[in-house]
Amino acid sequence: MSDISAETAPHYKIPRSVLVVIHTTALDVLMMERTTWPGFWQSVTGSLEREDEPLRDAAIREVHEETGLDAARFRLTDWQQSHYFDIFRKHQSRYAPGVTRNLEHVFGLELPAPMDVQLAPGEHTAWRWLPWRDAAALTISTTNRDAILALPGRVGK
């Protein structure tokens, strides 16, 4: 019998993720540059680790993994907004064959002021706080840009 065990089977990313726009009350936004894609700046993003992982738990986990911040200590808001996006071709091999789209759920994390972060070395090489319009202009991700541009209307909700 040649059954592939769970330990040797390929592990594909789940095509459902969270996007967490970390911002201050003054609408400065944290942006981070990808390690594997110099010049690609983004907010916190990450796939669910398992199909039944609650979205809020995934957002808290991803914020901690990518920045060292404890999202549970601040105002984490589920924007009740999700959208599909086409997975960048350079990342499609991380997903099961035939998977080309990802469903992303948007959160906002409000901090009282800019804070230093501890980047995950395998994920990001640099970070900076920018006014929201500048942050939106910096990212090439249309879903990240749109979330940042929606930020002024989200604060206080």
pLDDT digits (tens, 9 = 90+) for 19-54: 999 999 999 999 999 998 899 999 999 988 898 999
Q: What is the pTM of this model?
A: 0.86
Name the percent of the chain lying above pLDDT 70: 91
pLDDT value of position 8: 54
DSSP per residue, 91-157: GGGGS-TT--EEEEEEEEEEESS-------TTTEEEEEEEEHHHHHHH---HHHHHHHHHHHHHTT-
Domains defined along the chain, listed by start? 16-154 (3.90.79.10)
How many CB atoms are closer than 10 A to CB 80? 9
Burial class (CB in 10 A: 0-12, 13-18, 19+), 69: buried
Two structure tokens written together for 124:
């990001």
Q: How confident is the model at residue 95 (pLDDT cuts 50, 70, 90)?
A: low
Please answer whether residues 44 and 141 qualify as being in contact, where contact means their C-beta atoms are separated by less than 8 angstroms: no
pLDDT value of position 106: 97
Pick from 112, 113, 146, 118: nearest CA to 42? 146
**What is the average pLDDT across 105-110?**
97
Checking if the pLDDT of 1 tops 50, the result is no
Checking if the pLDDT of 78 tops 60, the result is yes
Mean pLDDT, rounded, of the chain: 89
